[in-house]
Amino acid sequence: MNVSERFFRRYVFSAIGIVVFFLVVNMLLIGSYLAVAYLENVADSNFPIENLSNHIVLEDGQFVGDGQVTEMLNEANAWAMILDGDGMVVWEEKLPEELPRHYSSMDVAMFSRWYLNDYPVNIWNRQDSLLVVGFPQEDIVNYYISIKAQYVGPIAFGLLAAISINFFLMLYLFIRNAHRVEKAMVPILNGIRHLSAGNPVCLEESGELAEISASLNKAGDYLLKKDNTRAEWIRGISHDIRTPLSIVLGYASEIEDTVSLPEATRKQAGIIRRYSEKLKNLVADLNLTTKLEYSIQPLQKQKIDPVELARQVVSEVLNDGISELYELELSEDTPGKNLSLVGDQALLSRMLNNLIRNCIVHNPDGCTIQVSVGSCDAMCTFSVADNGYGISEPQLNALNSGKDISSTQKQTGETEHGLGLKIVMQIVKAHQGIIQFADTIPHGLSIHISLPMKL
């Protein structure tokens, strides 16, 4: 699963979580409302007509209500009356004048289910009479609902089905919309990833995110043009400087070897030659690192004997005439084992040469340099270690994290360009290998490289 799929999967799951959270919150709100309503006696908000009836008694053939009746009616702003079996009003309290004092059985049937002259009423059946309590108009709303029992189940099922359909429809529409966004975003995210890796980007400039795609294409073209300009400039400089630098080296060497010239002049010519060679190597390093960075130089893959490769590099360094302050040792971790490696012999030789030269340059007081070759699983290993000054912990962390640093060691007081180690890292990366930097005990620097035997 790539980064884009993980992102949109989390997006969908978070959306589902939001929907579930929304439902839970609404259920809690409804529950809280019902609880508050119960605590506030909303359930008892209906007029206590039975209690009122208990306070109305028959004395000497007349209905009499005590003071509690008047208090209850005043509190509800209501009126009350009692009808006998013939529909005559035999007792009343605050009964409006416009209401009749006699009701037929049809009238009683009508207002018991609905309204009495727009007055909402409650009815209580006494033993020999009917108690009617009326309330102000528009104070209470009465609804009469009648449903056959056989329809209760289908209606409940229909409500549940409607809620479920709405829920899943909302979820489907959300996922569908997220999928559309994903289809539009995946090429953009992939384009950003390719752009960060320095690869060209060409996105289709259509759809809802066409402006973003166009901006990425423009950024990719700009970076590609900038990189090409930089690479061409470095190649041009390397080519243009090669001829005059060769002339300077030739004349400086000739002057240095001319015995008839004064000793001071010959020394100055030697200084010119050495710094010209340093400049030549610097230009070559700059050209090589540019080619590796932009994959201009393809690998010339061939089967290599890593032990023989290391032996040749060590011999070249010794033949160049290094100072007696340095000891260079070569060893095999697995003597007698035949090792083979597929890679670019010229680049791998340059890698080991740069590592050995790095130990020499950064330890001017001398050190012992140990070069070892071995194998681990399907990897061929190279190690170059010295017992010199070592490097600081921040610089070691910077090297292991792949960051560019100006110099690993600055004991000479000079500023190094750091291209040597950068080229080493680029060669290891081109061979799909791993490089690690570590301190040696008691001091010094150890560089361990693992390369796959087969690319």
| Domains in the chain: ranges and CATH | 3-41+147-185 (no CATH), 49-134 (no CATH), 210-293 (1.20.58), 301-452 (3.30.565.10)
Q: State both tokens at 260.
A: 């008839």
Q: What is the DSSP string of 236-257?
A: HHHHHHHHHHHHHHHHHHHHHH
Return all residues near 450 (Cβ < 8 A) that are at least 6 apart: 376, 379, 380, 381, 433, 434, 435
Res 304 pLDDT > 60: yes
Tell me phi and psi for residue 385, to 5 degrees. Answer: -130, 145
For residues 438-452, average pLDDT: 89
What letter represents residue 390's amino acid? G
What residues contact residue 27 under an 8 Å CB cut-off, 6+ apart? none
**Which pLDDT does position 62 carry in this prediction?**
87
Alpha-carbon gap, residue 153 to 175, rounded angstroms = 33
Q: Please state the rounded mean pLDDT for residues 360-372.
A: 91
Find where tokens 């012992």 sit.
368
Spatial contact of 407 and 422, defined as CB atoms under 8 Å apart: no
The pLDDT-based confidence of 289 (bands split at 50, 70, 90) is: confident
Per the listing, tokens 């301190």 go with 439
DSSP state of 9: H
User: Which is more confidently placed, 287 or 371?
Assistant: 371
What 3-state DSSP class applies to 46?
coil
Question: Per the confidence metrics, is the pTM higher than 0.95?
Answer: no
**Confidence band (pLDDT; 50, 70, 90) for 3?**
low
Q: Mention every residue, 6+ apart, whose C-beta is less than 8 A from residue 125.
A: 131
What's residue 5's pLDDT? 63
What is the average pLDDT score of the chain?
Answer: 81
pLDDT-derived band at 197 (thresholds 50, 70, 90) equals: low
